[in-house]
């Protein structure tokens, strides 16, 4: 019933959009559907929190704390604000023609449907179908009529992700084959939980090969280096809301799929032994330090992502490309956390949330800024705080949040990550992690400072000596933009200082549901 809703709401929305009369109408419908999705995922999370696991169709669709967590991030934290932002980005429909509005609305909702299906499927085949579908739906979101570069980016996105995800399908098939070898019957071999139950009987080499295909495949979509090359192009060329949605969740969805396979290689009974209420002490005292080969490989990709992204961020001149590489970096960080095993999982979960918050706010403000200033060059953004205080300050603050400045919660999740890494005694990766994040810190801080305070290019003197918001010349942004940029940052600030008990409880259960499939 609930699961059906996740498909029904977008489909209903798409149908309505098809018959909509104006761009404004189409966008409104899109907005309403997004709101519906957000409500649904809220209900889902509440139910999961009550009942634990919800399964339908014999486990074909399945929701536990881990998927509910991602569902919340998808629907409430990324998709709804992105929809709101899209509405204003397109000037409430004034800026675009009906055809584009319809197309955008339909693809947008389609992407939502695909991603929620991926999160809620208990069947790895359906998971694959959903991920591939999300690629196809989102491809044309990148494209803007008459923009050659966006077309190029789109093509790269389609080809790379299709090939990558095709590899993931090979991996899925191999995993199913391994499941059948281990005695699963027919369709059961595609059910993740069933495979988990027989994981001791899986042929290690086959299962690992399957995992490698899955990792490289979905990793392409998740933007892990060296399969990330489509990402900066797509993010930089797509319209603001699309970039935000890509970075805020599309990547997470693919990473989610990889992570779902990790417990199959977990040597002992996953999280349960490590987990006693999520307290730092007992978490650190956990003995499950041994990593599976799968975790080691994931760690390798995570580190490579960190290194490569930090290098590219270092000399990046384009704001949205920089944010894109920053996504590569953060995907690396999240993968890093999970690669530590159950110890790092809470950090990973928390970081996923924080990154989505910060990145959506970052892309919203960068998108608007780019649109207003007619450039995406970072150099062109400098001193923008005097003319477009909301966007410029929003962008700079989200950069600060992304690089882990306290008291934003990214700092906290990175703190958790560092202590988990130390607890797992992975010192070399820790060193690489710290070096890479420090380099990113150095560069992004420089940009944030320039955006906030440097004089705009071509201006010798500051516009207003006070730097007060009085010198604004770009018109007052709509209240919704204040909300979609300000609220995430406010949440980051609050979460950095205040973790409600319910939330930490939920995270602990999510950890458990990932590693022991409960």
Q: Which of residues 223-262 bind another protein (CB under 8 A)?
A: 226-227, 229-230, 232-233, 236-237
Site for another protein contains 182 (CB under 8 A):
no
CB of 352 closer than 8 Å to CB of 327: no
The residue within the footprint of another protein, chosen from 160, 288, 349, 489 (CB under 8 A), is 160
Query: How far is Cα 89 from Cα 371, in angstroms, rounded to an integer?
Result: 9
Structure-block tokens of residue 169: 């399908």
CB of 352 to another protein, least distance (A): 14
CB of 464 closer than 8 Å to CB of 471: yes
Q: Are strands 61-63 and 54-56 parallel, antiparallel or unpaired?
A: antiparallel
CB of 35 to another protein, least distance (A): 27
Residue whose C-alpha is closest to residue 100's, from 386, 401, 91: 91
292-331 residues near another protein, rule: CB under 8 A: 293, 297, 300-301, 308, 311-312, 314-318, 321
CB of 21 to another protein, least distance (A): 25
400-419 residues near another protein, rule: CB under 8 A: 403, 405-407, 409, 411-416, 418-419
CB of 161 closer than 8 Å to CB of 135: yes
Please tell me the count of residues contacting another protein according to CB under 8 A.
123
HSE-CB at 199 with a 13 A cutoff on CA atoms is: 21
Three-state DSSP state, 62: strand
> Binding string to another protein for residues 413 to 452, with x set by CB under 8 A, is what?
xxxx-xx-xxx------x---x--xx--xx--xx--xx-x
> Binding string to another protein for residues 19 to 58, with x set by CB under 8 A, is what?
----------------------------------------
CB of 481 closer than 8 Å to CB of 368: yes
HEC-encoded secondary structure of 243-278: HHHHHHHHHHHHHHHHHHHHHHHCCCCHHHHCCCCC
Kindly compute the dihedral angle of the four CA atoms of residues 176, 177, 178, 180, in this order, to the nearest 10 degrees.
90
The residue within the footprint of another protein, chosen from 129, 192, 369, 390 (CB under 8 A), is 129
Site for another protein contains 289 (CB under 8 A):
no
Site for another protein contains 493 (CB under 8 A):
no
Maximum Cα–Cα distance for the chain, whole Å?
A: 75
Please choose, out of 97-105, 128-136, 244-252, 257-265, the segment that lies near another protein by the rule CB under 8 A. 128-136
Nearer Cβ to another protein, position 12 or 314?
314
183-222 residues near another protein, rule: CB under 8 A: 185-187, 189-190, 203, 205-206, 208-209, 212-213, 215-216, 220
Beta bridge partners of 55: 62
CB of 262 closer than 8 Å to CB of 177: no
In Å, what is the CA distance from 68 to each residue of 55, 204, 221, 260, 271? 13, 30, 21, 13, 18
Residue whose C-alpha is closest to residue 235's, from 340, 289, 157, 308: 157
Nearer Cβ to another protein, position 112 or 301?
301
Query: How far is Cα 110 from Cα 115, in angstroms, rounded to an integer?
Result: 9
The residue within the footprint of another protein, chosen from 24, 62, 102, 156 (CB under 8 A), is 156
Nearer Cβ to another protein, position 240 or 278?
278
Nearer Cβ to another protein, position 87 or 230?
230
Structure-block tokens of residue 323: 């944010």
The residue within the footprint of another protein, chosen from 30, 113, 174, 337 (CB under 8 A), is 174
Site for another protein contains 490 (CB under 8 A):
no
63-122 residues near another protein, rule: CB under 8 A: none
Site for another protein contains 377 (CB under 8 A):
no
Site for another protein contains 276 (CB under 8 A):
no
- Please give the distance of CA 338 from its chain centroid, rounded to a whole number: 15
The residue within the footprint of another protein, chosen from 71, 76, 176, 192 (CB under 8 A), is 176
């Amino acid at each position: 019933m609930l699961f059906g809703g996740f498909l029904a709401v977008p489909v209903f929305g798409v149908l309505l959009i098809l018959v909509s009369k104006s761009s404004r109408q189409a966008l409104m419908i899109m907005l309403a559907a997004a709101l519906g999705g957000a409500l649904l995922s809220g209900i889902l999370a509440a139910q999961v929190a009550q009942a634990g696991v919800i399964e339908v169709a014999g486990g074909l669709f399945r929701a536990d704390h881990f998927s509910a967590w991602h569902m919340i991030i998808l629907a409430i934290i990324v998709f709804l604000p992105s929809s709101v932002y899209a509405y204003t980005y397109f000037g409430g429909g004034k800026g675009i023609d009906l055809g584009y509005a319809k197309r955008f609305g339909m693809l947008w909702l389609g992407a939502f449907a695909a991603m929620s299906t991926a999160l809620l499927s208990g069947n790895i085949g359906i998971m694959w179908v959903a991920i591939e579908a999300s690629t196809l739906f989102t491809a044309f979101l990148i494209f803007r009529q008459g923009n050659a570069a966006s077309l190029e980016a789109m093509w790269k996105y389609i080809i790379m992700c299709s090939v990558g995800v095709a590899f993931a399908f090979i991996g899925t098939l191999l995993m199913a084959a391994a499941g059948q070898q281990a005695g699963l019957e027919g369709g059961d071999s595609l059910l993740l939980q069933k495979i988990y139950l027989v994981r001791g009987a899986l042929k290690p080499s086959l299962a690992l090969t399957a995992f490698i295909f899955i990792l490289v495949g979905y990793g392409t979509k998740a933007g892990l280096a060296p399969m990330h090359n489509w990402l900066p192009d797509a993010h930089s060329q797509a319209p603001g809301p699309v970039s935000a949605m890509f970075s805020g969740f599309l990547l997470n969805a693919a990473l989610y799929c990889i992570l779902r396979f990790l417990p199959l290689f977990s040597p002992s009974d996953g999280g349960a032994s490590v987990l006693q209420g999520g307290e730092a002490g007992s978490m650190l005292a956990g003995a499950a330090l041994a990593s599976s080969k799968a975790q080691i490989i994931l760690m390798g990709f995570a580190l490579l992502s960190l290194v490569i992204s930090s290098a590219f961020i270092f000399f990046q001149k384009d704001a949205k490309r920089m944010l894109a590489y920053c996504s590569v970096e953060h995907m690396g960080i999240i993968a890093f956390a999970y690669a530590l095993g159950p110890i790092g999982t809470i950090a990973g979960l928390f970081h996923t949330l924080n990154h989505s918050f910060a990145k959506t706010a970052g892309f919203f403000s960068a998108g608007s800024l780019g649109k207003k200033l007619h450039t995406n060059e970072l150099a062109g953004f400098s001193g923008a705080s005097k003319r477009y205080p909301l966007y410029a300050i929003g962008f700079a603050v989200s950069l600060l949040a992304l690089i882990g400045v306290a008291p934003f919660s990214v700092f906290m999740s990175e703190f958790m990550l560092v202590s988990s890494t130390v607890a797992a005694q992975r010192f070399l990766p820790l060193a690489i992690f710290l070096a890479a994040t420090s380099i990113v810190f150095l560069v992004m801080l420089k940009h944030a400072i320039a955006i906030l305070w440097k004089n705009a290019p071509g201006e010798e003197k500051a516009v207003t000596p006070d730097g007060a918001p009085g010198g604004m010349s770009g018109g007052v942004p709509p209240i919704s933009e204040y909300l979609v940029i300000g609220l995430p940052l406010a949440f980051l600030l609050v979460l950095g200082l205040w973790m409600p008990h319910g939330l930490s409880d939920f995270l602990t259960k999510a950890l458990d549901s990932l590693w022991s499939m409960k």
